[in-house]
A and B are shown apart, each in its own frame.
Chain A
């Protein structure tokens, strides 16, 4: 069970405290059950639980549509993630560069794009860029907008993790005769990536959530398809709830992977430091 730091700070409750907690638990469970029943009752009374409302998800066409939408969502998130990783790495390296103008330019770019809503960037790519003759397919527009905002977040993560690498690593590489770019490429960057791995996987959760913006450009991802199915069958609440559950499952898996990597890394770190002693 999730344990809270409060447990470590205070003594475990005595017999009287335990009795009070048991009583309170029963009351809370009763209240929660009542609340759940109220929601379901309300939902059921307006026909939300009818067989017919959910049978739309038995139709092979709906399932095929959702499958294609899932593929479109994952495809956009993965390509944007890959591009954002490349661009974000470049930005992070620029911010650690020795040339002041390069550092300043990258810092300004990151600070600006980090505080822009992806939706605004997306509107920019669909409304303004064509005006200057740059016409991308809608898939490309979504990926471009997601890349621009996520790259600056990834660059911040990578910069922090590279700064956390002990300075001795760079000094040692330089004194062994590596040039500065090579030292970064072979020594600092790989270690930085390893330390940043949990945060980078967590960024995928953010990207996956961001693909819902494809809705505004009619990119047929999950949420757009849910709205489509909902308008077609008049059961929009059901269809949105179903795709929300899909996002939930995908993202919880990603979050678990991120936590798992973090634990593995900290285990390895602990092993390394105990060996050093």
Chain B
């Protein structure tokens, strides 16, 4: 069988597209939630801080599949129905958001206290210290951790195959239930490896671009 006559190219491409779409949307949502979460966790308003901590600590310790099941099978019971793809993307975003929040917090932890002290000694106000000294340094050190969150989002997006969506993992299962086609597994596996590799390379490139030259 020749390379181009392989009958599964169409399905493979649609699966790849779905995986990329779901992971991109979930990742965007996770970034937003991560930023909100880290703002809460570093806020001076204690109830917000408790809320942020509760979010991160509970979501990180719960299986992502359980979250997906709550949205897909549980919520319709109390009359809350969403399109399947929406509920899956929302739940993935909530799950990965907790990890994005941790990554962002580690970035703020990386900023030396001395540089904030120096900024204030130079007469910068609290606001200026935060926006011109602390946050720019924090943002530059979180590129690599956030890249890892993206790769994890892609890997985790395979869960949507369990609720019946035809992503990369889903098509590998569907076709193999009908006929044994091990080549498809290697193709799908390669696609995941390629996404992780490209994501890692892109993250490394951005990291090099934005890093301070020390």
Q: Which of B155-203 contact A (CB under 8 A)?
A: 155-156, 158-159, 161-162, 168-169, 172-173, 176-177, 180, 182, 185, 188-189, 192-193, 195-197
Q: Which residue of A lies closest to B116 (CB)?
A: A9
Chain B contributes a number of interface residues (CB within 8 A of A) equal to 64
Select one of B63, B173, B185, B197 contacting A223, CB under 8 A.
Answer: B63
B62 at the interface (CB under 8 A from A): yes
* Beta-carbon contact of A10 and B116 below 8 Å: yes
Segment touching A, from B6-14, B28-36, B41-49, B206-214: B41-49
A171 on the interface (CB 8 Å rule)?
A: no
Contact across chains for B77 and A46 when beta carbons are under 8 A apart: yes
Give the complex CA separation of A223 and B70 in angstroms: 11
* B180→A127 contact, CB < 8 A: yes
Q: Which residues from 1 to 41 on chain A have a C-beta closer than 8 Å to any C-beta of chain B? A: 1-2, 4-11, 13, 17, 21, 24-25, 28-29, 32
Known A9-B129, A120-B158; contact A252-B113, beta-carbon cutoff 8 A: no
Alpha-carbon distance between A235 and B78 when the two chains are bound, in angstroms:
10
Known contacts A124-B185, A216-B162, A237-B75; is-contact A251 B62 (Cβ 8 Å): yes
* Cα distance, A66 to B45, chains bound together (Å): 40
User: Closest residue to B64 on the A side, CB-wise?
Assistant: A209
Q: A128-B176, A216-B162 are in contact. Are A209 and B78 (CB under 8 A)?
A: no
Q: A223-B66, A244-B70 known; A1 and B155 CB under 8 Å?
A: no
Determine if B108 is an interface residue (Cβ-Cβ < 8 Å). Answer: yes
- Would you list which residues of chain A between 200 and 220 have a CB under 8 Å from chain B? 205, 208-210, 212-213, 215-216
- Other-chain residue from A28, A43, A205, A208 in contact with B48 (beta carbon distance below 8 A): A28
Question: Hey, which chain A residues are within 8 Å of B196, CB to CB?
Answer: 114-115
* A120 and B78 form a contact (CB under 8 A): no
By DSSP majority rule, is chain B's interface helix, strand, loop, or mixed? Answer: helix
B79 close to chain A: CB less than 8 A: yes
A189 CB to nearest chain B CB (Å): 26
* Chain A, range 93-118, C-beta contacts under 8 Å to B: 111-112, 114-117
A119–B77 CB distance below 8 A: no
Interchain CB contact (< 8 A) of A9 among B41, B73, B134, B156 = B134
Q: Are B42 and A131 in contact (CB under 8 A)?
A: no
CB-contacts of A212-263 with B (<8 A) = 212-213, 215-216, 223, 226-227, 230, 234-237, 240-241, 243-244, 247-248, 251-252, 255
Q: State how many residues of chain A have any CB contact under 8 Å with chain B.
A: 61
Q: Would A25 and B45 count as touching, CB distance under 8 A?
A: yes
Which of A42, A116, A215, A235 is B189 in contact with, Cβ under 8 Å? Answer: A116
Looking across the interface, which residue of chain B has its beta carbon closest to that of A249? B61
Q: Quote the shortest CB–CB distance from A243 to chain B (angstroms).
A: 7
Kindly identify which residue among A47, A111, A119, A248 contacts B158, using a CB–CB cutoff of 8 Å. A119
| Contacting pair B47 A244 (CB below 8 A) | no
Is there contact, CB below 8 Å, between A117 and B156?
A: yes
**A69 CB → nearest B CB, Å:** 13
Partner of B69, one of A2, A123, A223: A223
B204 at the interface (CB under 8 A from A): no
Interface pair A247/B63, CB less than 8 Å apart: yes
Binds A, one of B50-58, B82-90, B139-147: B50-58
Asked if B185 and A252 make an inter-chain contact with CB atoms under 8 angstroms apart, the answer reads: no
Closest to B188 in A: A120
Q: Mark B112-156, 1 if CB is under 8 A from A, else 0.
A: 010011001000001001100010000000000000000100011
- Distance in Å from the Cβ of A40 to the closest Cβ of chain B? 11
Docked CA distance A209–B62 (Å): 7
Residues of A within 8 A of B70 (CB): 237, 240-241, 244
User: Sorted from nearest, which 6 A-B pairs have the closest CB atoms?
Assistant: A115-B196, A251-B61, A117-B158, A9-B116, A237-B74, A46-B78
A-B contact pairs, 29 of them (CB 8 A): A1-B46, A7-B44, A10-B120, A10-B129, A11-B126, A28-B45, A48-B77, A115-B151, A115-B192, A115-B195, A116-B192, A119-B158, A119-B162, A120-B172, A120-B188, A205-B60, A205-B61, A208-B63, A212-B63, A212-B66, A215-B65, A227-B73, A236-B74, A236-B77, A240-B66, A244-B70, A247-B66, A252-B57, A255-B60
Q: Which positions in B face A, CB cutoff 8 Å?
A: 41-49, 51, 53, 57-58, 60-67, 69-70, 73-75, 77-80, 108-109, 111, 113, 116-117, 120, 126, 129-130, 134, 151, 155-156, 158-159, 161-162, 168-169, 172-173, 176-177, 180, 182, 185, 188-189, 192-193, 195-197
